Structure 1
Amino acid sequence: MNKKWAVKRITLNLTASEMKYLEEYCQRTGRPATDVIRELIRSLEINKAEGVNHKVNQSEQLIQQ
């Protein structure tokens, strides 16, 4: 297993319409749901104490340095 990816599994409860929407999006784009959900998570903004918004992947870059 690639040590870059520490696997952490989650269970996601979706309504039938949300699941249908996700499946349709994945089918149209040819991307797996896991990749779509990861991308959405990375695009989330988090608030730091000083009130500045930072994206999750920007924070990950700082941690890796």
Structure 2
Amino acid sequence: MVNRKWSAKRITVNLTSSEVKALKDYCSATGRPATDVIRELIRSLERSPKGLPEASHHE
């Protein structure tokens, strides 16, 4: 049995070629994998942006 601290959900993100280049360049410069960089960016988002209702947790 696998003991997981968190559950993961796989998503697909469509990026322009310039966005892919920017991500690859950043990852190369920092030595971090794209998954970690994207996850950190998502975590840095405001939880409830001004003017928007509280988001419900959908999975």
Classify 1:15/1:28 alpha carbon distance in 2 versus 1 (closer, same or farther; 3 Å). same
> Which blocks of at least 5 consecutive residues in structure 2 are unaligned?
51-59
| Larger RCO of the pair (alpha carbons < 8 Å, separation 6+) | 1
Aligned length: 49
Runs of 4+ in structure 1 deviating by more than 2 angstroms, as ranges, are none
Classify 1:40/1:20 alpha carbon distance in 2 versus 1 (closer, same or farther; 3 Å). same
CA apart distance, 1:2: 3.9
| Structural mapping, 1:41-60, within 5 Å | 41-47=42-48
What's the counterpart of residue 57 of structure 2? none
Tell me the distance in 2 between the aligned counterparts of 1:2 and 1:25.
Answer: 32
What's the counterpart of residue 22 of structure 2? 21
Classify 1:47/1:20 alpha carbon distance in 2 versus 1 (closer, same or farther; 3 Å). same
Structure 1 length-normalised TM = 0.68
- What RMSD in Å do the two structures reach over aligned CA positions? 1.7
Tell me the distance in 1 between the aligned counterparts of 2:33 and 2:48.
Answer: 29
SS of residue in 2 equivalent to 1:22: helix
